Amino acid sequence: MVSSQFRPESSVVAEVRPSPNHGERNASPDMIVLHYTGMPSDEDAISHLCNPATEVSAHYVVLQDGYIVQLVAEARRAWHAGASSWAGESDINSRSIGIEIANPGHDHGYPAFPKRQVAAVTALCRSILSRHRIAADRVLAHSDIAPSRKRDPGEKFPWKALADSGIGLWVKPTPMTQAGPVFTLGDSNPAIAETQALLASFGYAVTASGHLDGATRDAVAAFQRHFRPQRVDGNIDESTLATLKDLIAARDAHPSASKRGSA
């Protein structure tokens, strides 16, 4: 029986509030997954993550003022990812550390993330990276691993700021222009198959059919939220494809990249 009490695992944690919602891991954590709470009340969000009836939790919650609460010990499997996959793996909860960032989300106005909160997320991720071997391309959004279900933490989250601090992978998005074709839901084209193959090689759960189906549209939108946030529409345009190619090149050149999704 694992005790519900534990000591904070990082000096940046202000409080431990143990959640009963956790289990045994089936693998060592090699991913960080960022979420937003998606609730107007931060206290309600923490209570939700600690309520045994909800069967959801996360390892950490970062409030707007930078206050960090740890809910689950990192050695335990928190229940934050839900039905999800990445690079052919489906038990993301076993492989990841989940961080909930307090923000009401798209359904409640979706405000910007305060700088103090982003600084706290950065410090927390740095602390996690000091304890676990996590490749740059495996610091992900909830929307990356569950693109048809989730939008968090969304296009307003400053992924570049984290990457500038050595957390995660980022390339400068290719500027959007009117040049080149734009493929939308239902289209078929070899360029769509190329994009699908590249998305799959990075880790998204798509099949290179050459047909822009719903799963592909959702994966493209998730990619855009994370890596090309200027426009999130799920369409394949030259900017999206070029940014994706640059990202894969950066992953392959990065000293800590996993390469596990490489073609």
Residues forming the active site: 100
d(CA 253, CA 263): 15
Token representation of residue 34: 């960022």
Q: Is-contact 251 136, C-beta < 8 A?
A: yes
Strand 96-101 relative to strand 22-23, pairing:
unpaired
What span, in angstroms and rounded, lies between the C-alpha atoms of 94 and 80? 10
Alpha-carbon gap, residue 60 to 75, rounded angstroms? 13
Helix (H, G, I), strand (E, B) or coil at 32: strand
d(CA 206, CA 94): 22
Task: At 59, list the tokens.
Answer: 């390892």
Name the helix (H) or strand (E) containing 139.
Answer: strand 139-141
Question: Alpha-carbon distance 223 to 155, whole Å?
Answer: 10
